[in-house]
Amino acid sequence: MSGELFTTPTRRFHLTRRGKILQSTTERYLRDDLGYGTVLLPTKTNTTIAGDATELVPRTIENIDMLYNLVDGGSIVIVDTNVLLHHMDVLEYVRSDDGIHNSIAAAVVIPQTALEECRNRSLVMYRRVTDLIRSSSTGKQKRAFVVFADLHHVDTQFIDEGMMNGEDAKINDENDARLRKVAEYYGRAVHNHHRESNPGEDKMEVVFLTDDAASRKLAMEEQPDRTLYYTPRSMREHVTILQKEDPNLNLLDMVAQFNAQTNVSQSIDYFPPHIPSSQLSLGLKTNAYYQGTFRSDRDTYNSGYVTVRGGNEERVAVVIRGDQNVNRAVDGDIVAIELFGVEKWLSSSDGKEETKTKETTGIAADTAEPSVKDMDNVDEELVDECGALRRPTGQIVGIIRRNFHKNYCGSIWSVDVAADDSDKHPNDIIVAKHETEHADGITSTVVFFSIDPRIPPVLLRTTQRERLLGMRILVSMDSWPSDSEFPLGHYVKTLGVAGTKDTETEVLLQEFRIPCEPFPAKVLACLPSADYKIELEPGRTDLRHLPILSIDPPGCKDIDDALHCIELENGNWQVGVHIADVTHYVEAGSAIDLEAANRSTSTYLVNKRLDMLPALLTTDLCSLKGNVDRFAFSVLWEVTPEADIVHVEFKKTVIHSIAALTYQQAQSLIDKPDKDCKNDIQAGAVKRLASLARKFRSRRINAGALTLASPEVKFVLDSESLNPTDVQAYTLYEANAVVEEFMLLANVTVAKKILRHYPTLSILRRHPAPNRSMFDTLIQKAKTQGVPICIDDSKKLADSLDNAGKSFSDPYLDQLLRILSTRCMSPAQYFCSGEYQARDWHHYGLAAPVYTHFTSPIRRYADVCVHRLLAAAIGVAPLPVFLSSKSYLHDLAANMNRRHRAAQLAGRASVQLHTLIFFSGDDQGEGGGVKEEDAYVLDVETSDNTEPSFSVMVPRYGIEGRVRLSHIATDDPCLVRDQESFSLYYKDTKSGNVQASVAVFDKVRVRIWVKKSRDHRVLILDLLEPKVLAKPEVVSSSKSKTKKQKTN
Amino acid sequence: MASLRRTDILSLIHLRSDGRRPNEIRHMTCHLGALPSTNCGSALPTSGCSGSALVSMGLTQVLCVVKGPCDVGRRSEELPDRATLEVIVRTTPFSPPGDRRVANPTTDRRLIEQSHLLQTALSASILLHLYPKSKITVTVMVLADDGGRLEAAINAATLALMDAGIPLKDMVCACSAGRWSAGGVDEIVVDLNRREIQAATGMSGGGGGTSDTIYLPVATMPQRGNVVLAQCESRLSGGAEAFGEVLDVAMKGCQMVMEIMAAAVRERGAGVWKAKEGKADVMLVE
């Protein structure tokens, strides 16, 4: 034991539930061996193939000389809690070229008091701080983060006897006093050392950074003997001084802002004030206010909803509308709301209409947005006294916890001076009002607009306005005082030039929060070494003699499933589904496992793939490639040729795949005439699989499984530039259906197995039955075509879709109807079986009572969990402890659902981006550019006094969008809107005969092109046929073009 | 994900929540002869007390009183070849902050379990065969509990037995160790306090769910190197190797405890020697 220990008991009082006061006492040891704080130094532990594994070892700065060595001529900065909470971007900043002042200071001292307070206030920021402390010591950066355990240090421990009850103000004051004591300790040490050793030279600067003016004032007063041991400064003051020394330091942009106007006299309050926290907590207890998380509506920041708990424990979504009612809350904030009286509530009809129109043109969606009800399991409507359903409304009175720790992507709006008044974008007005130069001559305020429409514009103070124009930047919000119309924020990072493919890809990864950093060394250290060989180990069944083959899309690198089918001696067939044994390499609870659990899924973009597991596993060790031995988790069935299952077995195996087929190759084997493949093992197996699959499929369809369709297309990319050169539809072979069928079978079989062993701990996947109201419009639309749709259960829906398909003359309409009905359903979700009742486990789309994901462990974490559950169920490995914790499984499932959705959205956004690139024809005429194509009408705007328009789907490119007929006046007498039949008529002025009409499911012809305006691009659809309704100039330009082509 | 967070037992700079380093035991004080020895049948409440010790490990404080060897009293308890060892563990009404109140000390399972453990640990060391047909009563009073009351009770009992002059093979010293592993990082600490035990056994719900945790009180006879008690209630997933590591740390803790206890015994011995020389009163040894 080095250093003497002293002990001081710390007493705290708390009130028990019964109203008694309990005193709890904890020990606090004071040490004299803590020196001047502790830095983390890396030490090599062992070397693996992935690189050196280093461990961070704390090292105490024992004496003042060590401190001087560490600082090496720079300055010491002591930070307080607010700096940690709000100025992390400044602390993290390091300029790339090496100079002395390449960051905020040579040494940043983080007192334990500040660190712990930061942890209590925001776990997100705490993690950023600890990551920074860890990372700063591993790099070659010349700055150190020193953690100073002031609570345990003999010279700085500080006990205020006055602090006996938990008043906020007092605790804050005490913490500030502690921090000043730390600053004084460092200041005094430097001062004394300076006086003794080298009085002539410059003294090392000790700065205490705090944005609290009162604390700064106290710091000046408190310091004894009129000697200034340390200098208290605000962040902005400090950075301004640094910036004067080194003009290339772009730190000033990153300093968080808290006051809107510099001159207070002019301030106008735009918003009602927030209620202080002490009154809020009282109000929450007395049910005057309710607490909940504010969620913005999808396309605007000034309306949204808050989910609160009602009196009888049911949860209700309360609608908040308008700037004043939202009162500066931002999506994700935890807020306190006050409910309006019932007379102000919305009746169920008037809410829905406003959310209906989505204006942007883009690629078509797959499924419906998960409804509020499904996402949070809340009610949207309440019954009022009259018995009618009403949606409660309210206003936000205070903010309990801000969600300001995210970075937002977007750009600074550049005002187009040339544009005339009529063409002015609403953003121009905002910009004109808020862009100002500051008095200091170097900074100016600019307006930032996020890509995410749920985020309000943010006011930034920057020194580099010119450089940021036309760039995509990351911005973080700091505060929103009531005298500012918009929140204040600071610049974080530039991503790149707006509109370029790489930047925009980066932007969408940021936007959907897809983890895209390379795997940390800790994760890579879990991988097996380079000379690792797969060998048969005890407990594994050797299946290397079986003719196993895999069927995947061409170019597939992460093959996670393989199949085989052989004839047994008794005439039955043995079918095997072999899934990559990922859990063999990913040990439960290891760093690689935690990383995979966090990522939860691989994300597939058009031009790149972001893996859940490191590449060595994804594309090599786990991938069931042809002609190599691989570990697998196999499901083996014995079936009769009539597809009746006799027996099932689950085994950990070693397999040797004889061929990695593409769908096309497999299809050609299926199509081979029987007599040609007597001795062909592959063809025989594939044919048997196909015949079984047909039988399984028909059985499934009879049970009510839906055949749904997706409007997805794929891009043909240029091999070098990766620019899209063509768009193709996915070709679906029968072979696709064969593989899908066996994967479904394996998933269902495994789901049943794990559920039998772990009825409350299984990770399953459910698909809720669709909401009737979502289907209403589709049923009406189908009626105009004389097609009835019945949605009572999945079987009836499947049947009515089949019948409808037969009655259509145009084969695409069948598919269109399926796409539209898919969109009326909510997406499937992962859940822990203990959380729902058995009847809610149902998978509607597949008509299966239980379903799970087992077959793609390389790219989905749910499958990894299911593998572990199955291994435990068959007794080959014990169940990891944490998989038996229900709360952990709940969080896991929630995270998997969130990541899954984000990955889908990011994938779609990537397609959208490539669609824009394709149609803007940037790629030197490689097949892109303006196109003319057939389209199908999905919906017609039939309400009065609106711009005549309708939305269409272009099947060739998978695009969906609105066609505007802006040249026809809204009150044109010739225009007739028919709400019943979803159609528009254009009558001849004289005769009254119908010249042209557009109705739902009609086929029209459109031109697709990209309108570029300033730094953003929009996809535009213009009508070509029917000509009467089309814009005259569009039709004429189209003619001239075709003529030109002919003459050429 | 919230539940992937583990409770921080060691801070970034490897200090525990109370400021100790992983290998440091709490501040420990021992006081032999805390109560005056009296003869049986005296009017004092400590009647029949032949030795006593007050031990505090951190904020945990335990008083132990040894009676005997004396007459068994009841024939049925009498053993022909050795002495009967009776161990009683009691808590004071004010001692367990936050812990549930002991309704009936004679039926409380936790106390009975601890007295059994204590009995096993002590009977490994006491030369019971020297006192056939007699009885030694060890009464332990937990005055304050901040974690580790079993360890403190064992240490106090050893010292009280020595104070009573009952022959032992070796001192029985107890100390605990705990281990957290999550995300490939192992942390082993010695002599856990209440907060750490709660984190280890998941009693406070602080997130014991995801990490493998062990809380292991150990009693040893350090000079012989024997382990006389090791109690582990948590699920052990790291295998024998992991258990061995924790046991090693705990045994090192016992060694440290032994040094402190030995010093206390020597001090007491010096006091007795002085008293014999007529320089001081034995009863007033502080």
Q: What is the pLDDT of residues A108-127, one digit of tens each?
A: 888 888 888 888 888 888 88
Interchain contact B14–A (C-beta under 8 A): yes
Q: Residue A14's pLDDT is what?
A: 55
Q: At B262, which helix (H) or strand (E)? A: helix B239-276
Domain ranges for chain B: 6-38+48-277
Q: Which residues, 6+ apart, have CB-to-CB distance to A524 below 8 Å? A: A48, A50, A51, A614
Q: Which of residues 110-139 of B touch A (CB under 8 A)?
A: none
CB of B12 within 8 Å of a chain A CB? The answer is: yes
A660-670: average pLDDT = 89
Mutate to test the interface with B, among A881, A889, A898, A899 (most CBs of B within 10 A): A881
Over pLDDT 70: what percentage of chain A?
82
pLDDT in tens, A215-267: 888 887 776 665 677 888 888 888 888 877 776 667 777 787 776 544 444 55
B136-158 burial code (b ≥16 CB/10 A, e <16): bbbbbbbbbbbbbbbbbbbbbbb
Contacts of B195 in chain A (CB under 8 A): 26
Strand pairing report for A76-79 and A107-111: parallel
Task: Please give the residue of chain A at the shortest CA–CA distance from B22.
Answer: A1
| Token representation of residue A518 | 């390379």
Q: Please name the member of B13, B183, B209 whose beta carbon is closest to the beta carbon of A885.
A: B209
Query: pLDDT tier at B176 (50, 70, 90 boundaries)?
Result: very high
B212 has a pLDDT exceeding 80: no
CB A180 within 8 A of CB B50: no
- Burial of A157-178, coded b for 16+ CB within 10 Å and e otherwise, reads bbeeeeeeeeeeeeeebbbbbb
Using 50, 70 and 90 to split pLDDT, how confident is the model at A863? very high
Kindly list the residues from chain B whose CB atom is less than 8 angstroms away from the CB atom of residue A9.
59
Q: Using CA atoms, how far apart are residues A530 and A535, in angstroms rounded to an integer?
A: 15
pLDDT tens string B4-36: 344 567 777 788 888 888 888 988 999 998 887
**Residue A351 pLDDT grade (very low, low, confident, very high; cuts 50, 70, 90):** very low
Which of the two residues, A932 and A548, has the higher pLDDT score?
Answer: A548
Residue ranges of B 36-55 with Cβ closer than 8 A to chain A: none
pLDDT above 90 (res B62): yes
Say if A7 is an interface residue toward chain B (CB within 8 Å). Answer: yes
- Predicted confidence band of residue A491 (pLDDT cuts 50, 70, 90): confident
| Cα–Cα distance, A863 to B247 (Å, whole number) | 37
Least reliable range by pLDDT among A65-69, A221-225, A305-309, A938-942:
A221-225
Q: Which of A23, A26, A40 should we substitute to test contact with B (largest number of B Cβ atoms within 10 Å)?
A: A26
Q: What is the ipTM of this complex?
A: 0.83
**Mean pLDDT calculated for residue range B163-169:** 92
Chain B positions in Cβ-Cβ contact with residue A887 (cut-off 8 Å):
3, 209
Q: Do residues B71 and B135 make contact, with C-beta atoms less than 8 angstroms apart?
A: yes
Which of A25, A149, A880 comes nearest B13 by C-beta?
A: A149
pTM for this predicted structure: 0.74
3-state secondary structure of B224: coil
Give the Cα separation of B137 and B84 in Å (integer): 8
Please report the residues numbered 221 through 260 in chain B whose beta carbons come closer than 8 angstroms to any beta carbon of chain A: 235, 237
- Element housing B265 (H / E): helix B239-276
Domain B6-38+48-277, CATH: 3.30.230.70
Nearest to A594 among B4, B18, B98 (CB): B4
Report the b/e string of A657-682 with b at 16+ CB within 10 A.
bbbbbbbebbbebbebeeeebeeeeb
Q: Stretch A1017-1022: mean pLDDT, rounded?
A: 80
With cut-offs at 50, 70 and 90, classify the pLDDT of residue B38.
low
Q: Please, which pLDDT band fits residue A182 given cuts at 50, 70 and 90?
A: confident
Minimal Cα–Cα distance from B13 to chain A, Å? 5
Q: Measured between CA atoms, how close is B136 to chain A, in angstroms?
A: 35
Nearest to B1 among A28, A58, A891 (CB): A891
Average pLDDT over residues A148-169: 63
- At A1043, is the pLDDT very low, low, confident or very high (cuts 50, 70, 90)? very low
pLDDT for residue A884: 80
For residue A1046, the model assigns a pLDDT of 40
Q: Which of A31, A526, A891 sits opposite B19 (nearest CB)?
A: A31
Token readout for B34 is: 């805390």
Interface contact flag, B19 A25, Cβ < 8 Å: no
Comparing A358 with B43, the larger pLDDT belongs to: B43
Instruction: Assess whether pLDDT exceeds 70 at residue A414.
Output: no
Strand order of the sheet with strand A303-309? A315-321, A303-309, A290-296, A334-339, A394-401
CA dist A427 and A1015 (Å) reads 13
Using 50, 70 and 90 to split pLDDT, how confident is the model at A791? confident
* Banded pLDDT at A100 (limits 50, 70, 90): very low
Cα separation of A828 and A847, whole Å?
12
CB count, 10 Å around CB of A636?
19
Q: What is the mean pLDDT of chain B?
A: 81
Chain A hits for B197, CB-CB cut-off 8 Å, are none
Per the CB < 8 Å rule, is A26 touching B193?
Answer: yes
Q: Given pLDDT bands bounded at 50, 70 and 90, which one contains residue A164?
A: very low
Least confident of A381-385, A641-645, A814-818, B122-126: A381-385
**Which pLDDT score is estimated for B7?**
52
Instruction: Please judge whether B146 and A891 are an interchain contact, meaning their C-beta atoms are less than 8 angstroms apart.
Output: no
Residue A636 predicted with pLDDT over 90: yes
Of residues B51, B50, B221, B256, the one with CA closest to residue B122: B221
Lowest mean pLDDT segment, chosen from A594-608, A865-879, B176-190, B257-271:
B176-190
Cβ–Cβ of A888/B14 closer than 8 Å? Answer: no
Contact between A495 and A506 (Cβ < 8 Å):
yes
Q: Which residues contact A626 (CB under 8 A, 6 or more apart)?
A: A549, A550, A657, A658, A659, A660
The DSSP output letter for A679 is S
Structural tokens at position A578: 């072999």
C-alpha distances in Å from residue A344, one per residue of A235, A339, A378: 46, 10, 21
Q: Which residue of A has its CA nearest to B17?
A: A28
| Other beta carbons less than 10 A from residue A193's beta carbon | 17
One DSSP character per residue, A314-329 reads -EEEEEEESHHHHTT-
**B27 contacts A590? CB cut-off 8 A:** no
Please answer yes or no on whether B210 and A589 come within 8 Å at the CB atom.
yes
Shortest distance, CA B127 to any CA of chain A (angstroms): 35
pLDDT score of B145 more than 80: yes
Per-residue pLDDT at A1009: 83
Report the pLDDT value the prediction gives residue A853, as an integer from 0 to 100. Answer: 93
Residue of B1, B13, B209 with shortest CB distance to A38: B13
pLDDT at A593 over 50: yes
Nearest CB neighbour to A891, from listed B3, B146, B211: B3
Q: Mutate which of A17, A27, A132 to test chain B, going by most B C-beta atoms within 10 A?
A: A27
User: How far are the Cα atoms of A706, A785, A913 from residue A800, in angstroms, in the given order?
Assistant: 11, 13, 36
pLDDT-derived band at B210, boundaries 50, 70, 90: very low
Q: Which of A139-148, A497-506, A1015-1024, B255-264: highest mean pLDDT? A: B255-264
The confidence score (pLDDT) of residue A1047 equals 39
- Distance of residue A152 Cα from the nearest chain B Cα, in angstroms: 6
Higher local confidence (pLDDT), B48 or A377: B48
Q: What is the pLDDT of residues A10-50, one digit of tens each?
A: 555 555 556 677 777 778 888 888 888 888 777 665 544 44
Could you tell me if A30 lies within 8 Å of chain B, comparing CB atoms?
yes
Nearest chain A CA: its distance from B207 CA (Å): 9
Report the residue count for chain A.
Answer: 1048
Across-strand partners of A316?
A: A308, A379
For residue A599, give the chain B residue with the closest CA: B1
Tokens, residue B198: 């709660």
Spatial CA neighbour of A902 closest among A523, A605, A499, A613: A605
Residue A977 or residue A925, greater confidence: A977
A418 touches chain B (CB under 8 A): no
Omega prior to B69 cis, within 30 of 0: yes
DSSP state string for A155-187: TT----TT--S--HHHHHHHHHHHHHHHHHHHH
Q: Which of helix, strand or coil describes residue A208?
A: strand
Testing the interface with A: which of B15, B56, B59, B179 to mutate, by most A Cβ within 10 A? B15
Place of tokens 């004889």: A658
What token pair was written down for A724? 């899209």
> Worst-scoring range by mean pLDDT, A153-167, B40-54, B233-247?
A153-167
Q: Quote the percentage of chain B above a pLDDT of 70.
A: 79
Nearest to B14 among A5, A22, A58 (CB): A58
Question: Using 50, 70 and 90 to split pLDDT, how confident is the model at A964?
Answer: confident
Summarised one tens digit per residue, pLDDT across range A619-631 is: 888 899 888 899 9
What is the average pLDDT across A165-176? Answer: 64
**pLDDT given for residue A574 in this prediction:** 92
Residue A417: the pLDDT is 56
Contact A58 B212 (CB under 8 A): no
Q: What average pLDDT does the structure give for chain A? A: 79
Say how far residue B222 (Cα) sits from the centre of its chain.
Answer: 14
* CA quadruple A202, A206, A210, A211: dihedral, nearest 10: 10
Task: Give the nearest partner residue to A882 out of B19, B26, B209, using CB atoms.
Answer: B209
Of the candidates A393, A352, A394, the one whose C-alpha atom is nearest the C-alpha of residue A371 is A352
Bridge-based pairing of strands A76-79 and A206-209 is parallel
Please check whether residue B101 touches A, CB under 8 A. no
Reply yes or no on whether the pLDDT at A983 is more than 50: yes
Contact: B4, A590; criterion CB under 8 Å: no
Q: What is the pLDDT of residue A358?
A: 41
**pLDDT confidence tier of residue A354, bands split at 50, 70 and 90:** very low
- Split at pLDDT 50, 70, 90, the class of A355 is very low
Note whether B146 contacts A30, CB cutoff 8 Å: no
Q: What is the pLDDT of residue A488?
A: 87
Q: Measured between beta carbons, which residues in chain B are less than 8 angstroms from residue A888? A: 3, 209-210
- Name the minimum distance, in Å, from the CA of B235 to any CA of chain A: 8
